[in-house]
Amino acid sequence: MVAGVDQRRRISSGSSFEAIAGYSRAVIDDRFVHVSGTTGFDYAAMTIDDDVCAQTHQCFRNIIAALVEAGCTLDDVVRVHYYLTDRSSFDTLAPVFGQYFARARPAATAIVCSLIDPRMKIEIEVTARLEA
pLDDT tens readout for residues 47-77: 999 999 999 999 999 999 999 999 999 999 9
pLDDT tens readout for residues 98-112: 999 999 999 999 999
Record the pTM.
Answer: 0.91
Q: Is the predicted pLDDT of residue 132 greater than 90, yes or no? A: no
Q: What are the backbone dihedrals phi and psi of residue 112, each rounded to the nearest 5 degrees, phi first?
A: -100, 125
Cα-to-chain-centroid distance, residue 83: 11
Domains of the chain: 8-129 (3.30.1330.40)
Q: Is the predicted pLDDT of residue 5 greater than 50, yes or no? A: no
Measure the CA–CA gap between 57 and 55, rounded to whole angstroms. 6
Report the pLDDT value the prediction gives residue 66, as an integer from 0 to 100. 95
Report the pLDDT value the prediction gives residue 1, as an integer from 0 to 100. 42
CB atoms within 10 A of CB 35: 24
Measure the CA–CA gap between 61 and 69, rounded to whole angstroms. 12
Cα-to-chain-centroid distance, residue 126: 5
Q: Angle 58-34-2 (CA atoms, 0-180°, nearest 5)?
A: 150
Better-predicted residue by pLDDT, 98 or 23 = 98
Residue 66 makes CB contacts below 8 A (sequence gap 6+) with 11, 13, 25, 26, 33, 35, 38
- Across the range 32-58, mean pLDDT stands at 95
Instruction: Please name every residue paired with 122 in a beta bridge, in sequence order, or none if there are none.
Output: 84
Mean pLDDT score across all residues of the chain: 92
Please name the amino acid found at residue 35: V
Measure the CA–CA gap between 129 and 79, rounded to whole angstroms. 9
